[in-house]
Structure 1
Amino acid sequence: MKETQRGKRFIVIDDFLSERDFCAAQELMEHATFTRQESVISIEDGPAFRSKGVQFRDGLEAFSKDGRPKLYEELADAVRAYSDFFGQVGADWDRIAFAFWKYPAGSRLGWHNDAGQGRQGEFILFLHDRWRPSWGGELKLIDEDLQESKVEVTESDLVLRMEALIEQSTTSPVAVVPKPNRLVLVKSETIHTIGRVDQTAGDTLRRTLTGFVSKSQKRAAALVNAREKFEAILAAG
C-alpha cells in the first residue's frame, strides 16, 4: 500500500490490498446480488448495477471480531488512519456505508458533489482485474473548494449547476484512472464525475466498492442541543 497522489480534496492509494485480500474482495463482489440502477444524476448517463448496501455505525473498531469481511475492516482502518482528511471517528463521523457497483460500456455518472446527509467524504476501491486507460471510466474531480453557497448559480438542473461551478473554477479537472486495487479518498462536496466507459471495453465492467463516511444527523443535532443547554446553564450561573 502506497500513497501515490494527494490533492486538496482527494488522495490516491495504490496496491491498497495484498494480493490475497484483493482476490477475497473480488470473490465477495462476485457473490453479491446486483440490481439495475438508473442514474439519479442524468438520464443521459445510462444504467449501472448496484449491490445491496451495508452500513456500520457504532463499534467500528471491532470490524474483525464479529465475522464481517476483512475488506470492510481494511477500509475502516484506512478511513481512521486519514483523520486529517475525514476527521476523527465519533466526533466527525460515526457511520461507514459500502456498496459494490458495476458500470458497463456506454455508461457514466454525471457531474455531482454528494453533499449533505452528514457526509464527510467517500472512497472508491477499484476491483476489476485489468483496465486499459483507453477504456475511459476515469474518476474526474475538481480539486478546488467550490461550494454552491459561495458562488452565484441559478440553474435548477444538478449537472448544469455543477458545470456552471466548474466554468467558474480556476483549475482543470483531475482524471484518476481506475487502476485495479487503487483506492481513492474524496472529501465531501467535491465536484466529480465518472467518465463514460468506452465501447472498446466490451464485456469488461468497471467494478468498484464505493462507500460514504458520514455523521449521524440525529446524533449531531443531539450534541448541538446538549451543548446549547450546557452553555445556557453556564450563562444563567
Structure 2
Amino acid sequence: MTEASFRNEDVAVYDDVLPADRFQALLRHLNAMSYTSVHASEWRKVWRLHDGNPLTSRAFWYHAPDVAASEAPAYPTGTPIDDLTDWITGHAGEVEDIIGTPPGWDRLSLAPWIYPPGSGLSLHQDGNLYTGAFTYFAHPDWRLHWGGQLMVLDRRTQARGVDELWPPFLDDAAESVRAFDPGFALTIFPKPNRLVFISPTALHLLTRVDVNAGQSSRLSVAGFFHKPASR
C-alpha cells in the first residue's frame, strides 16, 4: 500500500506517482497529442464565461476485467497513458471510500487537459454518472503564484437549493451565498506528478491560471470512474 500525502472524506492525494523516466515519457506523449477547445461543438456551461478556453484531447478508456470494451481507444493502448492507468487501477482499492468499488464502477476514462493562462473551472460536483474522479498533474514545473489550484469546499457547505439556477451560468448569487456558509475550502496545489482522487459529492473548483504562468499551462490527465450504463 502506498501512503497518501493527505486524505479526508472527499480527497486522497498521492505524490511522486510515476518514476521520473515514465513521467517524462508521458509528458512527451501528451505534448504530441492534438487538442481542441472544450467548447468546440457548443458552450459547455460547467465552464462559465469567465473560465476562458481550456483545451482537451480524446479520452482513453480502461474497462474492468469482466467488462467488454465498449469505448476506444481502450487499455492497453501501448502508450505512456498505460503507466498512469496501471497506477490508478493498482491503487483504486486504497480509496474505495472515496471512489467506490467495482461493480459500482466498470470503466475508467482518462482525458488530457490544458488550462492556459486565463482559464479555470468554476464550482461544480461531478454528478451521479460517476462513483468518483481523479486528476493528475502532468506539467513539468509549477510555481506558487501561477494559480490553477484545486479547491474543495468544506463538507458543511450545503448542496444547491431547488430555486437556484443550474448551471448558474447567468446568475451565481445564490451559489455564492451557499458557498460562504461556512466559507472554507481545502486548497491543493498542482504539484507535478501528483494525483488526487475526488469524491463525486465534493464541491470543487479550479482557480484561474494566472498570467504569471507566462507560456506555461496547467497540464493534467483527468477522468472518472463510470457507473455501469444500465444504472
SS of residue in 2 equivalent to 1:22:
helix
Cα distance in structure 2, aligned partners of 1:145 and 1:215: 26
Cross-structure match for 2:105: 93
Identity of aligned residues (%): 27
Taking structure 2 as the reference length, the TM-score comes to 0.83
Q: 5+ unaligned residues in a row in structure 1: which ranges?
A: 221-237
Shift of 1:37: 1.8
Q: 1:191 to 1:66 in 2, by over 3 A?
A: closer
Q: 1:66 to 1:111 in 2, by over 3 A?
A: closer
Q: 1:64 to 1:191 in 2, by over 3 A?
A: closer
Matching of residue 71 in structure 1 with residue 80 in structure 2: no
Shift of 1:30: 1.6
User: How many matched pairs?
Assistant: 213
Greater fraction helix: 1
Shift of 1:88: 1.9
> Which of 49, 59, 70 lines up with 1:53 in the alignment?
59
Q: Which amino acid aligns with 2:24?
A: C
Cα distance in structure 1, aligned partners of 2:18 and 2:161: 42
Cα distance in structure 2, aligned partners of 1:152 and 1:142: 16
Q: Which amino acid aligns with 2:61?
A: Q
Task: Decide which structure has the larger Cα Rg and report it.
Answer: 1
Cross-structure match for 1:139: 150
Cα distance in structure 2, aligned partners of 1:164 and 1:8: 24
Cross-structure match for 2:45: 40
Shift of 1:25: 1.6
Q: 5+ unaligned residues in a row in structure 2: which ranges?
A: 68-73
Cross-structure match for 2:187: 175
Q: 1:107 to 1:98 in 2, by over 3 A?
A: same
Cα distance in structure 2, aligned partners of 1:73 and 1:20: 16
Cα distance in structure 2, aligned partners of 1:158 and 1:55: 28
Cα distance in structure 1, aligned partners of 2:121 and 2:34: 21
User: Alpha-carbon deviations, 1:56-110, whole Å to 9, x = none?
Assistant: 323289x9867462222212222233223222222x2111001000000111111
Q: Which amino acid aligns with 1:158?
A: P
Q: Which amino acid aligns with 2:205?
A: T
Cα distance in structure 1, aligned partners of 2:77 and 2:142: 34
SS of residue in 2 equivalent to 1:99:
strand
Cα distance in structure 2, aligned partners of 1:103 and 1:85: 26
Matching of residue 103 in structure 1 with residue 112 in structure 2: no
SS of residue in 1 equivalent to 2:84:
helix
> What do you get for the CA RMSD once the two structures are aligned?
2.4
Cross-structure match for 1:81: 94
Residue pairs, 1:150-165, within 5 angstroms: 152-159=161-168, 160=172, 162-165=175-178
Cα distance in structure 2, aligned partners of 1:84 and 1:214: 15
Cross-structure match for 1:231: none
The 8 Å contact of residues 9 and 143 in structure 1, kept in 2 or not, is answered as no
Q: 1:3 to 1:72 in 2, by over 3 A?
A: same
SS of residue in 2 equivalent to 1:3:
coil
Cα distance in structure 2, aligned partners of 1:214 and 1:34: 23
The 8 Å contact of residues 139 and 194 in structure 1, kept in 2 or not, is answered as yes
